[in-house]
Structures are given as C-alpha cells and as structure tokens.
C-alpha cells in the first residue's frame, strides 16, 4: 500500500504522455518528437523495459534504425526529471505514472516473471535519507529493490 504525504494523480494512456510533456517542459527541457516516441513506447510496457527493447520497437514502428545509445540518453533525462524510474538490478525502466512527482524508488521485483511493483512510501524514504545523513552521506537518488516472488509466482 502506498504511503505518502502528498497527493498523487495517476495518469495513463494519452494523459500520461501529456503529463510527461508538461513536466519536462516545466523543468526547462524540450519535448521533441523522439522524446515523445521513447516515452510513449516506455509507457506501453507494464514491466520494466530496457533501452534495447524500446529501440527495437521504435525501429520497427518507424521503419528505420533507432540507436539504443540515443534511447539511453533520453531515458537518463527522463529519470533525472522524474518521468521514468530505473530498476537498477534489471537495467530497465518504468514510466512514472505521476510525472514530475519527486520521490525515492522502492521496487518489489519478481525473480520469476519480472513483474515489478513501484511502492511510494514517504516514511521509508525519510528513514533511508536520515540514515544517510547521520553518516554524513548525501543521498542523491535512493533506490531500494526487494527481489523475490510475486503472489502469482509464489503460490
């Protein structure tokens, strides 16, 4: 269950792409056709997608090769601006369904099927950041990943 101190407005479909565009422009970045294509492709995935998955799908749909390095650069920009979340252990990405909302990443990752649940829990985030601070460490982008089995795979 999500526990957070602020309201989240979850977006999906065309509304998610529109919210991402608004958040990126508000952050002072440009929303290009390629960035829109990468975000729209990422948003279609229910499970974390790699830059290679996105590049392959865009190459097929555009009829010309899209380089994974270009996709990586765009995904890094999206992560930096809270439009996408990076699952570190899988080197894969999820679209943030509430773009621009800044919070730490807590993931429950199924080792069997790859299903990944993003959990918002401000209390846990504050605790992690406080632990870092007491050790004179500046937490830039905390990511917590819990590996295991989802309900479908464990039962």
User: Residue ranges of the domains in the chain?
Assistant: 13-95, 105-149
What digits encode the pLDDT tens for the residues 2-13? 444 445 567 767
- Cα 141-127-124 angle, rounded to 5 deg: 80
Q: Which residues, 6 or more positions from 81, have their beta carbon under 8 angstroms from its beta carbon?
A: 23, 24, 27, 29, 100
Q: Order of strands across the sheet with 143-148?
A: 116-119, 105-110, 143-148
Which pLDDT belongs to residue 120? 83
Fold of 105-149: Dna Ligase; domain 1 (3.30.1490)
What digits encode the pLDDT tens for the residues 38-89? 999 999 998 999 999 999 999 999 999 999 999 999 999 999 998 999 999 8
| Structure letter (DSSP) for residue 97 | S
The whole-chain average pLDDT of the chain stands at 89
Which pLDDT belongs to residue 9? 65
Question: What is the CATH code for 13-95?
Answer: 1.10.10.10
Percent of the chain with pLDDT over 70: 92
pTM of the model: 0.83
| Structure letter (DSSP) for residue 139 | -
């Amino acid at each position: 269950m999500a526990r957070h101190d602020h309201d989240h407005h979850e977006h999906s479909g065309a509304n998610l792409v529109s919210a991402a565009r608004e958040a990126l422009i508000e952050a002072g970045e440009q929303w290009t056709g390629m960035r829109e294509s990468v975000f729209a492709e990422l948003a279609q995935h229910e499970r974390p997608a790699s830059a290679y998955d996105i590049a392959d799908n865009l190459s097929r749909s555009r009829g010309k090769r899209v380089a994974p390095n270009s996709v990586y650069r765009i995904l890094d920009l999206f992560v930096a601006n809270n439009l996408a979340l990076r699952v570190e252990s899988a080197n894969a990405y999820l679209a943030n369904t509430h773009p621009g909302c800044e919070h730490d990443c807590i993931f429950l990752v199924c080792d069997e099927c790859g299903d990944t649940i993003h959990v918002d829990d401000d209390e846990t985030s504050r605790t992690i950041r406080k632990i870092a601070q007491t050790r004179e460490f500046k937490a830039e982008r905390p990511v917590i990943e819990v590996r295991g089995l989802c309900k479908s795979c464990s039962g």
